[in-house]
Structure 1
Amino acid sequence: MLRTRPARLQHIASIGVDRMGAIADHFSADLLRLENLDTDIPPTKEALDVTRQAIAHDSSNSYLPFVGQDRLRASAAAHVSALSGQHYKMDHVVISAGGLSGILNTLLATVDTGDEVIVTDPTYAGLLNRIRLAGGVPRQVPFDFTAGGEWKLNQTALRAAIGPQTRAMLLMSPSMPSGGVFDSSDWHLIGQLCVEKDLLLILDSAMERLLFDGRAVIHPAGLPGMAERTVIVGAASKELRMIGWRVGWIVAPEWLIPDLIAVSLANVVVPVGIAQEAAAVALEHTASDLPGYVGELERRRDAIVSELAGLPFGLPAGGWSMLLRVSDFGFTGTQMSERLLERGVCATAMTGWGIEHGDQYIRFVFANEPVGRLLTLGDKVRAALEGV
């Protein structure tokens, strides 16, 4: 039977990763896997041990508590308190089935139909899609791009983007996919604008500690007037490398918690109990675990930088992906993705991820390949740019 497609799906864009991952999974030859958002670096041993033990616990085979297990909620509250300087309690936390589920729940609890939500350009298409599903309208503010240099937030464009329909900012630092990091000046402007314009800040904190070159976390909830208007959505996937556990957390001011719980109960509720205590243990071990992991990501970034020397890439200040602007050579990201496949590299085009910084780029995710294999990238990219 034919029917009309729901209007909410009208502007939902493909993220591209799913298609490229499927191609790579069934490819006959060994590929350099730079298309996906996985990592080959395992979680902490303690988290793996707790996961194995949880299988035998009856309490892990449960939906309860509906807002998440107490230990994980307390661990998430302590984690965000330590970074922000604000005091969060377990009652400020709702557990979600992954960070992106937490983002969607937060948008559903705060954004009305037609409300504008400010994001950066580029931004992960999955975030843009969730804004649209919630009835909101993404308003993209560009990073400034300098070939070989770091991405810089265009502060003038940010000021100009705020209008009467603006309800919130949904921001991530390091940003995915660019690796752009907001500096102190950026965060203070963001905080100032949120307070002046009565905006909510939804912070996607999935990568906030994956910072390179000795950078320190600047947490916006600690800025003047921001604690009561900042919602922090964290995840076990990027920093804790627990992608398959599908655990996230929402840390929010007290006034918003009832609506977040209402949406959560109407949506996915919580992740499996088997995963929750393991995520709590991993959070509690990050002080000893994280530095080595960040160091390895930085070495991988540096390997790609050396391989692509002289080409127009944006230098990531954190995170685990890098963008190369292929429009300089007359290609779209989609065309470059196809050419790279022929040379043994699987990478995803940026179609739908940005306006100023969209299909002009190809994205390389360096979280899933060791340095030795990344040192083969330069010749393959140059061959794809120049032809056979």
Structure 2
Amino acid sequence: MTRLRDIPGIGVDIVGDAADAAGDPEFLRLENLDTDLRPPAVAIAATRAAIDDDAANSYLPFHGHRSLRAAAAAHVGRICGRAYDADTECVGVAGGLNGVLNTLLATVEPGQEVVLCDPVYAGLVNRVRLAGGVPRFVPAQPTAAGWTVDAERLAAAVGPDTAAVLMMGPAMPTGLVLDDRHWCALADACERHDAWLIYDAAMERIRFDGRPPSHPAVHDGLARRTITVGSASKELRLIGWRVGWVVGPAEIIADVRLVGLSNVVCQAGLAQDAVAAALDAPDADADVAAATAEWRRRCETVMRQLAAYPVIRPHGGWSLLVDTGPLGLGAAELSRRLFERAKIAATPMDGWGPSGEHYLRIVFANEPVERLAGLGDRFRLAVP
């Protein structure tokens, strides 16, 4: 099947299944984007209430409950300072990556390019390929302070064959954060080449610098070209609820809605009011800030534990990368050694874009500081 020819697996399932099969509680589970931090209490209460609500046990409405769309449109509007109509400029989806795929299918003709940063999450680049798009990668550079990508180089990647620019901030798996320089440069490039900017906002408030999100639609030059894909999985810790949203100009949202009718169809009915309640809660920002503070604590613990290794600091998100090149190992070999010698489950990024084979992903969101405090000793068992 040519559609799958350039789409490898993501490796997370292989490592995770092996760790599950081992059944050993001593394993550090650093392979999958899970977190042990509880979801907002208001969301749990709303989910329980939905069990007795017959309307929650329905396919309808296909494009998302009104409560979800109103909450999501208001949430995106608060962040970017613009008003969105819940009925025409927002559609519900079954999680963020479903929203990304639906949006790509609505904006990318087969053979057109989609600009992404590299290193990249395999789930994003694989969906570009499933949609028939051609990934065009702009390399991010690792520095002592973290990841950076040149704004002008990013903008220069947008050309006459570009259908869309797919950005995330903080990005998975690097923790790269984009700012006004990048959006200003992209605004001119997208306008010149009539390209969409698809913004994956799943982690936009999970920043370790204490600053608010940097949303592209804040900029007048990008507002009418920005399609925001949001998710309850990361910031709200509602992974199993499988609810997300797509917000943008009415004309393209109509197409995204049409794609959705043929792909997954609808979101989990039991979960939508729960997500709406979490987005609308008066303490919603404080809740995300508290979770972010804990994830940052865990990140700093990992950075200290692995200070002797080539680890690149993330500026947010749930994961960081180890550069395996200076260790004289491929990512798959390092993953194998850590699993067999140190009881660490971590995912090699083989197939995750051009540079993937050089990096091992460490997820710090799912293990407490007390367990992460022994990470350095375990690494030394695998890489003396």
Q: TM-score, normalised by structure 1?
A: 0.95
Aligned ranges 1:207-286 → 2 under 5 Å: 207-285=203-281, 286=284
Classify the secondary structure of the residue corresponding to 2:43. helix
Q: Choose the corresponding residue for 1:166, options 153, 162, 185.
A: 162
Q: Do the aligned residues in 2 keep the contact of 1:211 with 1:317 (CA within 8 Å)? A: yes
Provide Cα deviations, 1:253-275, integer angstroms capped at 9, x if missing partner. 01112211111111112112101
Aligned ranges 1:1-388 → 2 under 5 Å: 6-29=1-24, 30-91=26-87, 92-146=89-143, 148-285=144-281, 286-342=284-340, 343-355=342-354, 357-386=355-384
Classify the secondary structure of the residue corresponding to 1:140. strand
Classify the secondary structure of the residue corresponding to 1:145. strand
Classify the secondary structure of the residue corresponding to 1:303. helix
Q: Do the aligned residues in 1 keep the contact of 2:152 with 2:185 (CA within 8 Å)? A: no
Provide Cα deviations, 1:79-101, integer angstroms capped at 9, x if missing partner. 00000011112021110011111
What is the identity, as a one-letter code, of the residue corresponding to 1:37?
L
Q: Do the aligned residues in 1 keep the contact of 2:32 with 2:363 (CA within 8 Å)? A: yes
1:129 Cα shift?
A: 0.8
Classify the secondary structure of the residue corresponding to 2:74. helix
What is the identity, as a one-letter code, of the residue corresponding to 2:323?
R
Classify the secondary structure of the residue corresponding to 1:234. strand
What is the identity, as a one-letter code, of the residue corresponding to 2:336?
E
Provide Cα deviations, 1:182-234, integer angstroms capped at 9, x if missing partner. 12212221222222222100001000000002222111011022111110000
CA distance in 2, matches of 1:273, 1:169: 31
Classify the secondary structure of the residue corresponding to 1:267. coil
CA distance in 2, matches of 1:211, 1:353: 23
Q: Do the aligned residues in 2 keep the contact of 1:96 with 1:248 (CA within 8 Å)? A: yes
CA distance in 2, matches of 1:311, 1:377: 12
CA distance in 1, matches of 2:198, 2:233: 18
CA distance in 2, matches of 1:177, 1:306: 19
CA distance in 1, matches of 2:352, 2:250: 33
Task: Give the count of matched residue pairs.
Answer: 379
Q: Runs ≥4 in structure 1, deviation > 4 angstroms?
A: none
- Unmatched segments (≥5 aa) in structure 2: none
- Unmatched segments (≥5 aa) in structure 1: 1-5
What is the identity, as a one-letter code, of the residue corresponding to 1:262?
L
CA distance in 1, matches of 2:272, 2:294: 26
What is the identity, as a one-letter code, of the residue corresponding to 1:144?
Q
CA distance in 1, matches of 2:60, 2:150: 45
Q: Which stretch shows the higher mean deviation, 310-319 or 166-175? A: 310-319
Distance 1:191 1:310, change over 3 A: farther
Provide Cα deviations, 1:12-40, integer angstroms capped at 9, x if missing partner. 12111111111111114320000001110
1:178 Cα shift?
A: 0.4
Provide Cα deviations, 1:146-194, integer angstroms capped at 9, x if missing partner. 2x42100133432442332111101000000000111221222122222
Classify the secondary structure of the residue corresponding to 1:65. coil
Q: Do the aligned residues in 2 keep the contact of 1:142 with 1:157 (CA within 8 Å)? A: no
Q: TM-score, normalised by structure 2?
A: 0.96
RMSD: 1.2
1:345 Cα shift?
A: 0.5
Q: Which stretch shows the higher mean deviation, 196-205 or 114-123? A: 196-205
Q: Do the aligned residues in 2 keep the contact of 1:116 with 1:168 (CA within 8 Å)? A: yes
CA distance in 1, matches of 2:288, 2:327: 38
CA distance in 2, matches of 1:360, 1:39: 25
- Overall identity of the aligned pairs, in %: 50
CA distance in 2, matches of 1:164, 1:257: 23
Q: Do the aligned residues in 2 keep the contact of 1:68 with 1:270 (CA within 8 Å)? A: yes
Classify the secondary structure of the residue corresponding to 2:17. helix
Q: Do the aligned residues in 2 keep the contact of 1:96 with 1:249 (CA within 8 Å)? A: yes
1:300 Cα shift?
A: 0.6
What is the identity, as a one-letter code, of the residue corresponding to 1:93?
C
What is the identity, as a one-letter code, of the residue corresponding to 1:185?
R
Provide Cα deviations, 1:54-105, integer angstroms capped at 9, x if missing partner. 0111000111111110011000000000000111120211100111111100
